[in-house]
Structure 1
Amino acid sequence: MKTQLLIRRTYSSTITHSANAKITHLSRTGHVHEARRLFESYKYKSVSSWNSMVAGYFANRMIRDAQLLFDEMPERNIISWNGLVTGYLKNGEIEEARKVFDEMPEKNVVSWTAMVKGYVQNGKVDVAETLFWKMPEKNEVSWTVMLHGFIKDGRIDDARKLFDMMPVKDNIAKTSMVLGLCREGRVDEAREIFDEMSDRNVITWTTMLTGYRQNNRVDDARKLFDEMPEKTEVSWTSMLVGYTLNGRIEDAEEIFEAMPMKSVLSCNDMIVGFGKKGEIAKARKVFDSMKERDDATWRVMIQMYERNGFELEALHLFALMQKQGVRPTFSTLISVLSACASLASLHHGRQIHTQLVRCQFVDDVFVASVLMTMYIKCGELVKSKLIFDRFPSKDIIMWNAIISGYASHGLGEEAVKVFCEMPLSNSTKPNEVTFVATLTACSYAGMVEEGIKIFESMEPVFGVRPITAHYACMVDMFGRAGRFDEAMKLIENMTVEPDAAVWGSLLGACKTHSQLDLAEFAAKKVIEIEPENSGTYVLLSNIYASQGRWGDAAELRKVMKTRMVRKSPGCSWIEFGKKVHAFTRGGISSHPEQESIEKILEELDGLMGEAGYNPDYSNALHDIDEEEKADNLRYHSERLAVAYGLLKLPEGEPIRVIKNLRVCRDCHAAIKIISKVKKREIILRDTNRFHHFRNGECSCKDYW
């Protein structure tokens, strides 16, 4: 009889356990109503069944149903009460949880620990601490929960005191203490605890390793890394990140190559590391080798191209990204937009603008500023102004963008007008960048007196102390106007030491006005400050060439070779067929349409000659004959880009060209004539400004 009763009880217990497990499974997988039907089907319901169903409601965020079911329970045990407290806590209802906790007929260590943990997770560490010290008994979990609370709250000294008081410290508590100390920079103290641990696991090792890395003690991290009995992907990646963040790319590469398995995260980090070092080819090799890529992979590779001056590659990669159906992130779109601005790629820029509108990003002030800059650099100043006018509340970046836009297009009066409106709108005060943009606008437009007034008002009226950039603008302004005595007087009275930008501004003006002795003096000053600046050597060489000082020009080239200074090759871009086409000086021999471009150049030679064009050889660096000099000028990159535009773009459409250097005087004169004889609008953006050529005239009025 006793045996049969035992069998029945065992069978009943097994059935109940199985039913509860099924209820729990159905609830956790979202089938809470099926779980309730199963629960209702039981003739005899145990307390465990009721507890499982209450937990199921909480798991599906059906808090009211959970409470109602709890209230219906014919009997409850401490597990029932703890389940109700935990359910409220998991759903963020900490006040309700506390009410239940206070109503509990009895509490055990689980009840107290759950409530303390709830307060810790909700950032109420002070309340958790008060409750913790009231606990009648504490176990290892209780102590560790409170320890986590102090560490999370940044109360590392309190955490250390609690840690020292703990009667038993398990591996979790010790690892947490190591983590907390490392976060506060107390790495040596963390290492002492680490060294005392007899039961270190891979998590503990990695925590200590990461602590060293986060505190820039990468060599200590490496020693620990080499000692690790077991390494995980996290350990390898942490070491890799340590090296890349400290600029030690060779060491990072060594770790990367030795990794048994390269994760997407580690590959992304290696791409960033190579990008910071400027090793673009190696970064792309890592990118191409990846079997899987995430959003960050595409983003970091595109950003790396854009930030290192490989804007064309950034656009090509973005196109590939779209083909593969990868949705671009916000930061990716901004990087591509910046690349479009650099390349004056209006087609791609408009595409990105459309995507930003679709994603509802255009109401963001930062996005508006980037869009404005893109349209300005593409020569669409009107479009940029429309974006500017649409925003009732403009930040300083937007104001600076529109003033810079007017400056780059030579519209000095418009720039000064906006500058004057600025303090009247939302009390926005001009900053250092504002004055650089406004003074540049005055310089490009020959508005010397206005520029002087603005410069003199900087500190007394607006509280902005002039820096070297502002002095460089003023020197450029005086120099362009041929007022060299005032330029030199300003340099002599500067409150800061003149830098390369100041002397460079003087040098450019001297070259324009043939002030050759002063130009040589300014050039030598720039070379002293920036011996690696190739542009200065080129200008000085031009000065020597213009005076027939071929020996000095040759000697200067020797100096450049000795110092390994390389001249930046002239390059121009033009957009056609949804692609950006690049041309370098003399570089059409490998172009697929070389013959057609040559025919356009020959046609232009004839038309320009008839229109009175005379080549300007002032930029010729070598002692060569006239015919060779003329041929040399003919193949300047901007001339090739314009020829390609004439070949490809339909009549009536503006030809937009961008150049990475300042346009030379001969090309400027030639393009003026081309705009007249071909009856085309040509928009050229060089490193200084925009030139709008129409009917034989330029918007700069030859004041550039």
Structure 2
Amino acid sequence: MEIKTATHLANFLQLCIDKKSHINGKLLHAHILRTGLFADTFLSNRLIELYHKCGRLITAHQVFDKMPHRNLYSWHAMLSAFCKIGDIDNAHKLFVEMPERNTVSWNTLISAFVRGGLERRALNMYYDMNHAGFLPTNFTLASVFSACGALLDLQYGCVCHGFAYKIGLDKNIYVGNALLGMHAKCGNLKDAIKAFEDLPEVNEVSFTAVMGALGDSDHVEEAFDMFRSMHRIGIRIDAISLSSILGVCGRSGINESGSTVNGQQLHGLTVRLGFEKDLHLSNSLLDMYAKFGDMSSAEMIFNNLPEVSVVSWNVMIGGYGQKYEIKKAIEFMQKMQTFGFEPDEVTYINMLTACLKSGDTETAHEIFNKMASPSLSSWNALLSGYSQIGKHKEAVRLFINMQFCNVKGDRTTFAVIVSSCASMGLLKGGRQVHAASVKNLFDDDIYVASGLIGMYSKCNKIEVAKCVFERIKDQDDIVCWNSMVAGLSLSNLDKDAFMLFKNMLENNMLPTQFSYATVLSSCAKLSSMSQGRQIHARALKDRIINDVVVGSALIDMYSKCGEVDEARLFFDKMPVRNTITWNEMIHGYAQNGHGSEGVALFEEMINKSGEKPDAITFIAVLTSCSHSGLIDYGITIFNSMLQEHGVEPISDHYTCLIDSLGRAGRFNEIEVILDKMPYSNDPILWEVLLSSCRVHLNASLARRAADELFRINPCNSAPYVLLANMYSSMGRWDDVRHIRELMTEKQAVKEPGYSWFEHKDGS
């Protein structure tokens, strides 16, 4: 009879568990105590499960503590209860106290560590599990690969993959999906795709992971192809897979019209599949339209959401911030608070970013100061914002303030502040940041080390930059190699830059567009056609030749090596061009004496290409006008800069115009320009004028130019020599002697000249 009663009670308890009926469960608990059935371990285990499911963990623990007899299930019920509410410390304590354990015990705690963001502890637990003689299951390995992915620990992940293969779990769908996810998070696209292809069966999780990996690696079209394949073979498309491909769509950028169309089609599919009320998916749609800059569509979706979350508000605020519409961003933040939503850290970071992108540093500071306890992410957001808009002094002050507030920086903090020190040429400050990064164990981080290499290079400490590079333990990342090649090029060690690039290839590093652009710049400075052709061939082999940055660098290299026709041939074949590409080609014509062709190309640019000329464009075309004798046309272009194109003339433009007029001997017009121009402290401008005066023997204007140069830099020998040579050609020997005496008095020493040529063996 007692057994029958216990069975009935167990069934009633199961009903209460299923319906989370706390009150009825308590009544049954009282009945169990009253009838003396609490000693029944099975019923007590059910009570623990009931209280856990109803969110009464303290009561569940009290039942567990008072149980006269516990079995393994009792311990598991309590362990699971702690793990599910995220009480990891008590879960671990309970685990240690367990009189016996099985694989389920280990799996429960390992997966809890991973869910709680304690991935390293999860991997340590996995090691202990193996050491204790327990064989991992598919659930164990799925958690372990997830932990390796979160830690970007690809090496340990590969070791675990080998073990999975050994015990025959490598083809399991859960293990395979987790392995694929790990490679994706570690940026290892090749192995992620291989893991996908090796799966004996695939599901929506597999497709979602590989689409995310392709999107993160900027293989946007391949990600869309994968989604189409998923749809075509009948794999169920759920809200998560749709969110993933929408994320890929958003990352592809505002300028990709194809992605905009794909995004709109995905929006239609979302409605057709009935997911328009899914909040997470709706937020993904919002985010996609915001990243496209289509805030009207984003606002339409936002206004029709059945429910909104803080994430929804944050996406709208961030979207308006990206478009520099600071008033709309502030308006949405105020509405958010009106509707009872408290801004979180992401809200404040989005607002800080919006203000700084709009150049409104004052409002950014006000928002930052309103934060009760700014997190490191908020400090970093403000720090990065200052650095990105060129407010490097403010960034340094903020970093110092962080130290006073005892805020410990991370890799982002140090990478950003080193970049600001580099931009300012602040060697002393950069060294202090370097010391702080060593103290905080971030000097080995590739991004911090890359920033340090850049900082020391810009501060003319290339040997220290080399030391930083050589001390990097993990040299398998292209970032630091790129920084070192750029540093050598910046220090005019262009042969060394080329050799380091070759060394990079020998180490099986895959060059990026930045790698190619930098080494091509070195080849251009060396006027080394043979080396430039080698890089061109390698870029063809690596299929990066169509990149606009690499293409522009190739045009510059061929032009500086005197092969302007070859540069134009490549220019005409480029599938994509930008303003920089046009500038390089126009300038290439100018510097090779083909001014008329440069002017014709400028006309084609503004009339046919749709590209907008910038300040560099006008320097290039004004130089072309000067070299081809098109003086009046050059004046017309100069006058059109501000009126028609909105480009404010700077000293370089005035220098080009004065050079053009000087070559033609039109000094009266030059004097009018000199009296009006705002750039009287530019030595190059006065040197150009002095050279023209010497050619045309204009002594009075030559003396004015020389006097300005003496004022700007009394120790520069060039103006003394030019003026003396002009006086000697005019037979004014007393003036020559006076200039020589003045040169001696000011200790202006003439540097010896030298020439450069490339030997046929490339040396």
TM-score band, normalised by shorter chain:
0.5 to 0.7
* Deviation for aligned residue 1:308: 4.9
1:306 & 1:69 partners in 2: Cα distance? 53
2:278 & 2:698 partners in 1: Cα distance? 86
Residue in 2 that maps onto 1:491: 670
Give TM-score scaled by structure 1 length.
0.58
2:578 & 2:240 partners in 1: Cα distance? 47
Tell me the amino acid that sits aligned with residue 161 of structure 1.
Q
Cα gap change, 1:326 to 1:497, in 2 (>3 Å):
farther
Tell me the amino acid that sits aligned with residue 286 of structure 1.
V
Q: Is 2:522 the counterpart of 1:339?
A: yes
Residue in 1 that maps onto 2:468: 286
1:542 & 1:572 partners in 2: Cα distance? 22
1:146 to 298, 309, 312: 312
Q: Which runs of 5+ in 1 are unaligned?
A: 39-51, 71-83, 104-110, 136-141, 444-450, 479-485, 581-704
* Deviation for aligned residue 1:518: 6.5
Residue in 2 that maps onto 1:267: 449
Cα gap change, 1:178 to 1:247, in 2 (>3 Å):
farther
1:437 to 615, 623, 635: 623
* Deviation for aligned residue 1:180: 2.5
2:368 to 191, 196, 200: 191
- Contact preservation (8 Å) 2:686, 2:709: yes
Q: Is 2:410 the counterpart of 1:227?
A: no
Residue in 2 that maps onto 1:182: 352
Alpha-carbon displacement from aligned partner over 1:438-476 (angstroms, at most 9, x marks no partner): 333336xxxxxxx45645765799988995234333344
* Deviation for aligned residue 1:372: 3.6
Q: Is 2:433 the counterpart of 1:255?
A: yes
1:211 & 1:402 partners in 2: Cα distance? 34
* Deviation for aligned residue 1:579: 4.5
Q: Give aligned-pair identity as a percent.
A: 20
* Deviation for aligned residue 1:522: 4.1
Cα gap change, 1:575 to 1:320, in 2 (>3 Å):
farther
Residue in 2 that maps onto 1:670: none
* Deviation for aligned residue 1:351: 0.9
Q: Is 2:724 the counterpart of 1:524?
A: no
Residue in 2 that maps onto 1:556: 742
1:409 & 1:513 partners in 2: Cα distance? 24
Tell me the amino acid that sits aligned with residue 180 of structure 1.
N
1:53 & 1:409 partners in 2: Cα distance? 60
2:637 & 2:204 partners in 1: Cα distance? 70
1:299 to 482, 496, 502: 482
* Deviation for aligned residue 1:254: 0.6
Tell me the amino acid that sits aligned with residue 269 of structure 1.
G
Residue in 2 that maps onto 1:44: none
Cα gap change, 1:34 to 1:305, in 2 (>3 Å):
closer
2:175 & 2:636 partners in 1: Cα distance? 81
Q: Is 2:333 the counterpart of 1:160?
A: yes
Aligned residues: 514
2:430 & 2:352 partners in 1: Cα distance? 22
Tell me the amino acid that sits aligned with residue 114 of structure 1.
H
C-alpha RMSD of matched pairs (Å): 5.2
Tell me the amino acid that sits aligned with residue 469 of structure 1.
T
Alpha-carbon displacement from aligned partner over 1:575-610 (angstroms, at most 9, x marks no partner): 236554xxxxxxxxxxxxxxxxxxxxxxxxxxxxxx
Alpha-carbon displacement from aligned partner over 1:24-46 (angstroms, at most 9, x marks no partner): 779998989855999xxxxxxxx
Cα gap change, 1:95 to 1:291, in 2 (>3 Å):
same
Give TM-score scaled by structure 2 length.
0.54
1:383 & 1:278 partners in 2: Cα distance? 35
- Contact preservation (8 Å) 2:524, 2:561: yes
Residue in 2 that maps onto 1:416: 596
* Deviation for aligned residue 1:303: 2.6
Alpha-carbon displacement from aligned partner over 1:239-260 (angstroms, at most 9, x marks no partner): 4445445554422321211222
Residue 508 of structure 1 aligns to a residue whose secondary structure is helix
* Deviation for aligned residue 1:182: 1.6
Within-5 A mapping of 1:4-403: 34-35=172-173, 84-86=238-240, 88-90=242-244, 92=246, 113-123=279-289, 125-126=298-299, 129-130=302-303, 134-135=306-307, 143-154=309-320, 156-161=329-334, 164=337, 174-185=344-355, 186-194=363-371, 196-197=372-373, 202-203=376-377, 206=380, 216=391, 217-218=394-395, 219-228=397-406, 230-245=408-423, 248-259=426-437, 260=439, 261=441, 262=443, 263-293=445-475, 294-363=477-546, 367-387=550-570
Tell me the amino acid that sits aligned with residue 190 of structure 1.
I
1:394 & 1:234 partners in 2: Cα distance? 33
1:397 & 1:89 partners in 2: Cα distance? 36
Cα gap change, 1:212 to 1:542, in 2 (>3 Å):
closer
Cα gap change, 1:381 to 1:556, in 2 (>3 Å):
same
- Contact preservation (8 Å) 2:488, 2:494: yes
Alpha-carbon displacement from aligned partner over 1:254-294 (angstroms, at most 9, x marks no partner): 12112222122112122333344444444334333333343
Alpha-carbon displacement from aligned partner over 1:46-88 (angstroms, at most 9, x marks no partner): xxxxxx9886786677966998889xxxxxxxxxxxxx54455
The worse-fitting range, judged by mean Cα deviation, of 392-401 and 517-526 is 392-401
Relative contact order (C-alpha < 8 Å, sep 6+): which is higher? 1
1:255 & 1:395 partners in 2: Cα distance? 37
* Deviation for aligned residue 1:358: 2.5
2:387 & 2:603 partners in 1: Cα distance? 47
Tell me the amino acid that sits aligned with residue 177 of structure 1.
T
Cα gap change, 1:189 to 1:160, in 2 (>3 Å):
farther
Cα gap change, 1:357 to 1:404, in 2 (>3 Å):
same
Residue in 1 that maps onto 2:98: none
2:303 & 2:633 partners in 1: Cα distance? 62
